Amino acid sequence: MVEMTLEQVTSLLGWCAVINSAMLALFTLVMILGRRWIPRIHARLFDLSETQVRSEHFGFLGTYKVIITALNIVPYIALKIMLAAGS
């Protein structure tokens, strides 16, 4: 069994937050740059209207942002506070 120190877990969460935030930025950029053709393709693939696809994309980005915040950024900050208080 592998045991991790609080410093290692903090570092892991920090890198997860950075990588996930970069992915969110990339997804957002792709959605902005492809705002005409991406919804058209997805509408055909999933038998939805382009308006529905845009709404789903917006919902996806919002949900992903909340997940990153709740599962990466908040625990990272809490651990940073715990480590600073313990010093």
Run of H or E including 60? helix 50-68
What's the confidence (pLDDT) of residue 73? 98
1 within some domain? no
Per-residue pLDDT reduced to its tens digit, 4-59 = 999 999 999 999 999 999 999 999 999 999 999 999 999 999 999 999 999 999 99
- Reading phi first (left if > 0) and then psi (alpha if -120 to 50, else beta), residue 48 is in beta
Domain span including residue 70:
7-86
List the one residue out of 58, 57, 25 whose CA is nearest residue 43.
Answer: 57
What's the confidence (pLDDT) of residue 62? 97
What's the confidence (pLDDT) of residue 14? 97
What's the confidence (pLDDT) of residue 26? 97
Q: Say what the pTM is.
A: 0.86
Total number of domains constituting the chain: 1
29 within some domain? yes
